[in-house]
Structure 1
Amino acid sequence: RVRHNFIHHTGGVGMGSMGVYMDDCFSGTEISGNIFYQVQRAAFLGGGRDHQVVNNIFVDCNHAVEIDGRGLDKSPVWHNQSDRTLRDRLHAMPQALYRERYPAIKDLDRYYGPPDGPAITGDAFMGVPPEHNVVERNVCVGKWLNIYWNAKADLQRIDHNWTGNDPGFMGWIGEESRPADFRLEPGSPAFAVGFENLPVERMGLQADTLRAGLPSEER
């Protein structure tokens, strides 16, 4: 779970950087309740499945959410990853235990074959698509969604998101005379899609016994 973070002002040359990067078919992560402000590829789902991207705020990102299907690519670097690495690691786990605790694993039988065989290998193995990713109840100002490289929108659940110019932030980011305040006004249209306000006051560095001090706000 990646929750209640304020990730902002990241860039980088070339491909840039990612805010939260679910790399190389990593699956099953909840990304919720975060603020992404001016982030290159804020929530990046790199070929994985069963992620939940819910109740986040994205402002001026490029894009807010990206989903690719690298697990279907036939190039050796990607095909070997899904055909060998992921298959080997899946089979190395105690099957009965893991299939009971993580029932979504059973859905992979369609691509690899059931534990007791026959296995789907060779030319019959077509890769593993990104499926069942949930993108719901998010707020986005700016570039919203990019689904590409073999991924398909109809294999995801993307619903009840608010996208537009201003959802009613208490301190609008575009006004230099006012500090950025990502809390939403009570009448925000984002609440109509089920968005819930975030604990902004608890995000960022917090004073505790393990931290000698906090940076000055004047720096």
Structure 2
Amino acid sequence: MEETDAPGEYCIDREEGILYFFDPGTLSTLEVSLLEEPIMEMLGASDITVKGIVFENARGSAAALYGTGNCIFSGCIFRNLGSFAISIEDATGFSQQPQQAFSSNNGIVDCMIYETGRGGIVLSGGDRNTLTPARNYVHNCTIHDFNRIAKTYSAGIKISGVGNQILHNEIFNAPHVAILLSGNDHLIEYNEIHHVCMETDDAGAIYYGRNPSERGHLVQYNFIHHLPERYRTTAIYHDDAACGMKVHGNVFYKAGAFPVLIGGGSDNPYTNNIFIDCPVGIKVDNRLQAFDWAKPMIAPGGIIEQRLNEIKFDRPPYCTNYPELAKYWEEDPSFPKRNRVDRNLFVNVGQTVLKVDDGVNADKQFLDFTTNNLITREDPGFIDKNRMNFKLTETSAVFEKIRGFEAVPFEKMGTYAIGNK
């Protein structure tokens, strides 16, 4: 206790159950919560709307939904929490199972989340065995400063399950990831992500990996910017054999050491994206083939085989929904394939593609980098680059120089106002 000698510091006498706090003299009120359970919990509920409520001052989370349907949290504020803000999950492991075990069509809309201890939102639901989508969603929310206690892998949004959606959100101010991804067939669209991965190395704003069966994702029309270059940070991180994500129409501006890192995986096409002011555009490697630390992942009995067998990857619905997955072991999984880079714009990017291997495969390509990409040092016709308005003018030469390039709807990215708010 004698070391508590500066305003704002505190210490805990756990034996006596006393907290000593050095008041900085600026507090008009002081609230101490002993609540460890969620403030609100729903099990098997349906058709409920929670609107305009402030959830705050709990040691745990604010709300937990299990096996719910059509339940909406709208216009709420979640702040000053010890754990994450809200979770939507399936009702598994309960002694009394609700009539609806899977959560579906639930939403978190127009909410603000900040000053939490262990992340923002846990968004799950759906059946991975049958690939049945849940269609739970996070829409038009602002999420920031969500890692007061847990600095890594406690994302702004942790998304899993099947067929869930992250739309029109802003996520910022975090030491590690913004979106932590697992599962299948998710949609991540029209979000703005910035100033994340600020304190960690080898990290991605959107991150997933080590399970080639987790595919079918679409990441499109997002604006990811201002990630630190000093660490090995990336906007989208396909880590350790991650496969099957379509990335289309995004804008990457000052997005880390390299906006894209494909770590040995396949079937990750990049189309119609814009890369601006980045040291490297796309980094790709054949780690499962070249690096001793990665080779055990695809060895017999390794983590990749275990995870593929968990969902019977070579049988319906996986072999029908993802035909390339059924041939995973036949096609040499150590070599990246079908990572097509086409119809992209690179503006003032130091090195468009950085390929990393052991030298043995130096003559082989891990990316299908077509001739239909434009690399330039000049402003290609942005409306106002200095004000970060990266919408292209209708007269931009990009539309002539890149065959089939579509106008990126930059003005729709991020949150939008509701009435006067």
TM-score by length of 1: 0.78
**Which residue of the other structure, out of 116, 128, 137, is the alignment partner of 2:343?**
137
Following superposition, the deviation at residue 208 of structure 1 comes to 4.7
Aligned residues: 190
Q: Which residue number in structure 2 is paired with residue 102 of structure 1?
A: 322
Secondary structure at 1:86 match in 2:
helix
| Cα distance in 1, alignment partners of residues 413 and 228 from structure 2 | 21
Asked if 2 retains the 8 angstrom alpha-carbon contact of 1:32 and 1:53, the reply is: yes
TM-score by length of 2: 0.42
The one-letter code of the counterpart of 2:315 is A
Matches within 5 A, 1:44-83: 44-75=261-292, 77-83=293-299
Q: CA RMSD in A?
A: 2.3
Aligned equivalent of 1:122: none
Cα-to-partner distance string for 1:109-157 (whole Å, 9 max, x where unaligned): 3257xxxxxxxxxxxxxx6111110111111112221122257653432
Give, as a single letter, the amino acid of the residue that structure 1 aligns with 2:277.
Answer: D
Query: Does the C-alpha gap of structure 1 residues 14 and 8 become closer, same or farther in structure 2, counting only changes over 3 Å?
Result: closer
CA offset digits 1:178-200 (Å, max 9, x no partner) = x2321222232321312211111
What is the distance in 1 between the residues matched to 2:291 and 2:375?
Answer: 35
Q: Which moved more, 1:48-57 or 1:150-159?
A: 150-159
Correspondence for 1:201: 411
Pair 56,78 (structure 1): closer, same or farther in 2 beyond 3 Å: same
Partner secondary structure for residue 131 of structure 1: coil
Provide the secondary structure at the position in 2 that maps to 1:36: strand
Which residue identity does 1:103 align to in structure 2? P
Cα contact 1:31–1:52 (8 A) shared by 2 = yes
Give yes or no for the alignment of 1:161 onto 2:373. yes
CA contact (8 A) 1:131 1:156 kept: yes
1:189 aligns with 2:397: yes
The answer on 1:5 being equivalent to 2:222 is yes
SS at match of 2:324: helix
Q: 1:27 deviation in Å?
A: 0.4
Quote the residue 2:245 is aligned against.
29
Which residue in 1 is equivalent to 2:384? 171
User: Whose strand proportion is higher, 1 or 2?
Assistant: 2
What is the identity, as a one-letter code, of the residue corresponding to 1:46?
G
Contact 2:261 2:284 (C-alpha < 8 Å) held by counterparts: yes
Measured in 1, the distance between the counterparts of 2:223 and 2:277 equals 14
Displaced runs of 4+ in structure 1, greater than 3 A? Answer: 150-155
Compare the two structures and name the one with the higher helix fraction: 1
CA 208–200 in structure 1, closer or farther in 2 if over 3 Å, else same: same
Structure with bigger RCO (C-alpha 8 Å, 6+ apart): 1
SS across alignment from 1:64: strand
| Equivalent residues of 1:42, 1:65 under 8 A apart | yes
Task: Structure 1 unaligned segments of length 5 or more: list them.
Answer: 113-126, 174-178, 214-219
140 and 74 in structure 1: CA distance in 2 versus 1, 3 angstrom threshold: closer
Report the CA distance between 1:79 and its aligned residue. Answer: 1.1
Gaps of 5+ in 2: 1-217
The structure that has the greater radius of gyration is 2
- Which secondary structure state, in structure 2, belongs to the residue aligned with residue 37 of structure 1? strand
Change in Cα spacing, 1:139 to 1:111, as seen in structure 2 (3 Å) is closer
Q: How far 1:70 sits from its partner (Å)?
A: 1.0
* Contact 1:39/1:62, CA 8 A, preserved across alignment: no
Paired AA for residue 251 in structure 2: I
- Within 1, Cα distance between the matches of 2:418 and 2:335? 43
Contact 2:284 2:366 in 1 (8 A): no
CA distance in 2, matches of 1:3, 1:208: 23
Amino acid aligned to 1:131: K
Equivalents in 2 of 1:6, 1:157: separation in Å? 24
State percent identity of aligned pairs. Answer: 28
Is 2:271–2:341's contact at 8 Å kept on the other side of the alignment? Answer: yes
